[in-house]
Amino acid sequence: MQSRFAGFYLFLSVILSAAAPAAAANVPRGAQLAQQWCASCHVISSNPPAAIQQGPPSFHTIAQGPLTADQLHAFLSHPHGAMPDLALSRSEIDDLIGYIGTQR
């Protein structure tokens, strides 16, 4: 009986690990999107200039902040405040969040 459960869990882990790469963020694409959509207002690189103007938080600050990936996804899906109305797809948002995560 336990071997049947062990087989099931092995099968389930193989299926889940095979699906994971398809759902992974495309970080280089996220960097490209950050440059296209975000760089005019945010410092997006991990090597910011010596003098930083007052304004929106840098990607490093966002990455170090308390927001989870799900919260960032919700925010980027429905920007508000001074943010422009971005028309990013779900996968583009995932890619952008993946890039932000590299700024930790």
The domains located in the chain, with CATH, are 25-101 (1.10.760.10)
Per-residue pLDDT of the chain (104 residues; tens, 9 = 90+): 444 444 443 333 333 333 333 358 999 999 999 999 999 889 998 776 655 567 889 999 999 999 999 999 999 998 888 888 888 999 999 999 999 999 98
What pLDDT does residue 83 have? Answer: 86
60-90 b/e with 16+ CB inside 10 Å = b?
bebbeeeeeeeebeebbeeeeeeeeeeeeee
Among the listed residues 70, 91, 92, the one whose alpha carbon sits nearest the alpha carbon of residue 23: 91
pTM: 0.71
